[in-house]
Structure 1
């Protein structure tokens, strides 16, 4: 197997992983009852509006990271979405650190790294 084929498969796996993860987060934030969310994420109890806004942002990002490349119309949108995911993960990390929840930012950092990988591959 050629290196470029392996890289191509890895890129698509990263996009699909990030998209599915963001879609899961969006569905949790938008469709789960507040009590259920509060058990998993205690901060959601005091910040219901923030939960809804971030749920919508997660859903848009899930679509934007994958759909443009699938329909090959505006694949540059995937690049812009990846930049948006990085900004979202930075803000999420700052939010958690400000609440004394620094131990919870591992997933944010991981998603940020996946988005950076997508950007790196798009700019090659």
Structure 2
């Protein structure tokens, strides 16, 4: 005997959700690319002084690696959806940025760098919103 299952179709995303997603995607593009370029091109000593922590000097390879991830994530959060070329990459970029923020929270908390955490706690729900929105609620159709 087969059970009757009723599937409810997902309603198209509303205008407010679409505007919110595009706004947050643009903001995260700007933030992640800016942070990434800082990590890639500013001297580690200057970043350590600006951020009042020694981790950029102690872990300069991690600094540059996270800079690359930031730039790739920032570009990936916006460009594939905007061009509608491989828009699923936007979802993957949002997932990567979400994981990055979780790792950053753990890293800074373990080092007792609690002053760094507010930024990560702001970025985390924003990239998670993009992950949910573009992954489930309002995906962008490819060309």
TM above 0.5: yes
Of 100, 103, 110 in structure 2, the residue corresponding to residue 88 of structure 1 is 100
Between 1 and 2, higher relative CO (CA 8 Å, sep ≥ 6) is seen in 2
Q: Using the alignment, how far apart are the partners of 2:43 and 2:99 within structure 1?
A: 27
Query: In structure 1, how many angstroms separate the alpha carbons of the residues matched to 2:107 and 2:27?
Result: 24
- The correspondence for 1:72, drawn from 64, 73, 84, is 84
- The answer as to whether partners of 2:98 and 2:128 remain within 8 angstroms in 1 is yes
Is it true that 1:107 corresponds to 2:123 in the alignment?
Answer: no
Bigger mean CA deviation after superposition, 45-54 or 101-110: 101-110
Computed over aligned residues only, the root mean square deviation of the Cα atoms, in angstroms, reads 1.3
Q: 1:11-90 to 2 correspondence within 5 Å?
A: 11-41=21-51, 42=53, 43-90=55-102
Bigger fraction of residues in helix:
1
Q: Distance in 1 between matches of 2:115 and 2:39?
A: 20
Compute the displacement of 1:71 (Å). 1.1
TM-score (norm. length: structure 1): 0.92
Q: Tell which structure's C-alpha radius of gyration is larger.
A: 2
Residue 125 of structure 2 aligns to a residue whose secondary structure is helix
Aligned length: 122
